[in-house]
Amino acid sequence: MSTQSARSIRLTHSSPQQAFRLLELTPEILELISSPNAPTLYLKSPGTDDPSITTTGPENNAYVNLCTPTKTFRIRQVQSSNSVHVIKPSDGQNEVIPLLKRHGDTNKAMNTPETVTAIAKCGSTLELHGLADDESFASAKNMLARMLTVWGGETSFNNDDEGDVDMDDSELSTKRMMTVKKSVIDDLPFADTQCRKAWIEICAFVPDNYNGEDRPVFRPSATVRLDIWKRILEGCILQNIDMEKQFLVHDVWKAILRDVDDESEERIPRSLFDAIVRRLAEQSGDLGDENDSRLKWSNIDKEVCIKWIGETYLEATAPTEKRAIGRSEFLNAWKDLLPETWRDETLLSNLPEASYKHPDPVSIHFVAEPERENVKKEGQDSAGSGAKAKNSRNWHERFKSQRK
């Protein structure tokens, strides 16, 4: 609207007001949406499957995050003492605007093109705060773990004795898994890349030929994960497969299959086996949909595998302080679960940070992920309090010197 020659601009107020929310964009988001190939942004909130989310009662933990494919931003509403009005200029044509009728006045109207109209009033704005990748990944992992049912090996599955599956059935199973996986990730209020990484981290899987649930997604218990690893290690030794080099996953799968007539042995779904192998395999960095297909070739990441085996064994055998085991016993058992050339790598320093505690000088037990996060936050809060105290002392010293 051109107002260079106008002596004044009239402001009117529309009724009813329109509903607007103002979102303050960070430079990172602004650059992203201004790029030639701008990605789709998503507003994601926790799904109803998360038991920690309650939408009734005095505490409401529901929230919404803004997510790019790789980054998560927390949305926070900020109240303002100064209201912001959203205005709409005139279109340059003469507009007839009725005036308020006063006592003794006849109906009047005003003809003017220099007019703006307040169509909405915003008393608050929405701010975006980017979450650190480690923080959002840990949150996605913990939320996903709470949502999924723990599978302890008690469910029966139909597996072909030789592991040979019809190609059409395999493709149907893969498509079904991708559909179910997408529905789960859509209920996680974090970036898709972080959700896919969390899926791999906890070995989440959709069982083959299982129709007992509408959305059958499980995560294996530590005992199941440990048992499958033992079978993988035994099969690789018997078949002379070098896990550090590329190998056919199908060969390992056939090696770990047990005799069908042996009812004492639990049968495992192929998708669970693939989830364990994918968790221990060297990651290429691409966590797209192609990684949901059945594994053909793989090779084990030595460092990741050693750390994972130690942590898994500790979780399975000493999950709490009351069930703590001897440190020497743990180190020897950990060593026996590794290939011969890796046995010297069984050091406590190779376990994840804060993943264990010593209730006494000779014992050790596992520390769950939520407790580790609480310890980290307490440490960060203590460090922040110390910095504030130090700054206050510095100011105290400054004022003290000025008083002299």
276 in the same domain as 159: yes
| Confidence tier at 41 by pLDDT (50, 70, 90) | very high
34 in the same domain as 158: no
Query: Which run of H or of E encompasses 252?
Result: helix 249-256
pLDDT of residue 334: 96
70-111 tens-digit pLDDT: 999 999 988 877 878 888 887 655 454 554 444 455 545 454
Pair of tokens at residue 28? 């990172």
* Number of domains the chain is built from: 2
Pair of tokens at residue 190? 């974090």
| Confidence tier at 148 by pLDDT (50, 70, 90) | very high
For residues 10 and 159, the model is more confident at 10
90 in the same domain as 15: yes
Q: For the chain, what's the residue count?
A: 404
pLDDT of residue 56: 41
| Confidence tier at 286 by pLDDT (50, 70, 90) | low
Number of H helices, E strands in the chain: 10, 15
Residue burial 124-163, b: 16+ Cβ < 10 Å; e: rest: eebbbebbeeebbbbbbbbbbbebbeebeeeeeeebeeeb
Q: Which domain holds residue 211?
A: 134-300
CB atoms within 10 A of CB 187: 19
pLDDT of residue 137: 94
Is the pLDDT at 50 greater than 80, yes or no? no
187 in the same domain as 107: no
**Mean pLDDT value across the chain:** 79
291 in the same domain as 142: yes
Nearest to 257 by CA among 284, 279, 234, 285: 234
300-327 tens-digit pLDDT: 999 999 999 999 999 999 999 999 999 9
For residues 69 and 56, the model is more confident at 69
pLDDT of residue 53: 53
161 in the same domain as 104: no
pLDDT of residue 284: 67
Residue 232 lies in a domain: yes
| Confidence tier at 259 by pLDDT (50, 70, 90) | very low
pLDDT of residue 139: 92
For residues 167 and 21, the model is more confident at 21
Claim: this prediction has a pTM higher than 0.85? no
Q: Which amino acid is at 89?
A: P
CB atoms within 10 A of CB 328: 11
**CB of 287 within 8 A of CB of 196?**
yes
188-221 tens-digit pLDDT: 999 999 999 999 999 999 987 665 556 689 999 9
Residue 15 lies in a domain: yes
* Domain endpoint, select from 265, 285, 300: 300
Residue 125 CA to residue 107 CA, distance in Å, equals 40
DSSP alpha helices (H): ranges in 64-219? 133-147, 167-186, 192-201
183 in the same domain as 100: no
Residue 62 CA to residue 55 CA, distance in Å, equals 6
Q: Distance from CA of residue 281 to its chain's centroid? A: 20
